[in-house]
Amino acid sequence: MSAFDWGDIQLGRIPLRETFDVAEAGGDTRTLDLDGQESFPPLTRAQVVARHDGINSLTMGQVIPVTFTDKPERNGYYTIKAASSTYTENRGERVTADWKVSLERVGSDAETDLQSRLTGAVRLNDYSSSGERWHAPPIGHYGYYTGSTNPSTMTRASSDGTITVYRSVPANVSPRWGCPPTTYLAGRVRVTTTAGQEVYGADVPLSATDWSLSNGLVNATPSASATLDVQSYSGGAYRSKLWNISVAGSAASVASWDGATLLRNDPEMAIVRLVKGLNPGRATLDLTLRRGSRTVEGYLQVGTAATLAVYRSTLETNTQIPANGYVRASANDANGNRFAIGSARTWVGHANGGILFSSVTVMDFWVGAEVGGTGAVSGDTGLELRNQYFAAMPEAIYGVRR
């Protein structure tokens, strides 16, 4: 519940105060127009800015869940038709965001299927792998339908709850599923910036030194003592592994980034782009995280050929499996897990545990953990995590009448 006992409206991922009227119209389509104001006080300035930016980052034609505290009969899925917000700041006194959003109703969850359009592409790789076609809808989904051929399932414990991952999804099929709007966000990919404020769109500010990319299973963030801290959720907590990323082999790693931006920021997938000046030249790292994934994906680029590497910041005894394209810890760590890292291309192993490419301008990689180590369940072994990475399937979600 909002401050002062106001109701809430959840517009996709954007929380707003329900202190306004809802204008509706019927006809060929059923429209719903909303307007309201967010302000500091009582919110913080950062919250007002985030909601203002989030409204202006909404994508026309996108289908989102919308829920109300005081008007639950209007809960459902809506297509965005128009969105705007006017920002006013009286320095040191007050900040306001007066916003308007026009929506077209698709329907309630009882009458609406959400359809995941999966590309079905397999990442070009040096291992003759066809990948493993997999998919993870929100935690609260139901009625997952792929026609006459059913996929297999597995579950993963996340910080949001238990998420179901569908494996061996049939090719050339766009799965359909239902989900109450109130539970659609559980298990989503989140991007946060300064002070843990969630970022609601892609065209919004992102701190280069204070950000995180998380899906409840993996949390990637900058580290003061390494390039990245990639944390895996197990045993009710995130377990940290520090990684160095270098454009000079083992000679030096990137200690900090000069810029950060978002290429995509949706509940099912987010991409953070990091930039480092090399004086001259620059390095660019794209980090991708998908809903339900145990690994974060990376794509490192430089302008002139160099030795690119990703490796553990401190030596951890490891087993290199070049024939299968990945490296894993040789033994379970104190939390019962084993790190795993690999690439779609042939690599040279790093002594600390990692991969290295000589005289290249690009490097792709994935990094995460075999949660459970030697007791990892089917779907969470290093080879399976590799195959899931090879099945590169960006997802677009559409609302269709059931």
For residue range 45-93, list pLDDT tens digits in order: 999 999 999 999 999 999 999 999 998 999 999 999 999 999 999 988 8
For residue range 309-364, list pLDDT tens digits in order: 999 999 999 999 999 999 999 999 999 999 999 999 999 999 999 999 999 999 99
Q: Which helix (H) or strand (E) holds 52?
A: helix 45-56
Closest CA to 205 of 45, 17, 62, 16: 45
pLDDT at 3 over 60: no
- Kindly provide the b/e burial profile for residues 167-193, where b requires at least 16 CB atoms within 10 angstroms of the residue's own CB: bebeeebbbbbbbbbebbbbbbbbbbb
Give the separation between CA 95 and CA 365, rounded to whole angstroms.
43
For residue range 269-325, list pLDDT tens digits in order: 999 999 999 989 999 999 999 999 999 999 999 999 999 999 999 999 999 999 999
At 365 the pLDDT is 98
At 1 the pLDDT is 46
Q: What is the mean pLDDT of residues 24-29?
A: 80
pLDDT at 241 over 80: yes
pLDDT at 2 over 60: no
Domains of the chain: 3-107 (2.40.30), 190-401 (2.70.98)
At 80 the pLDDT is 96
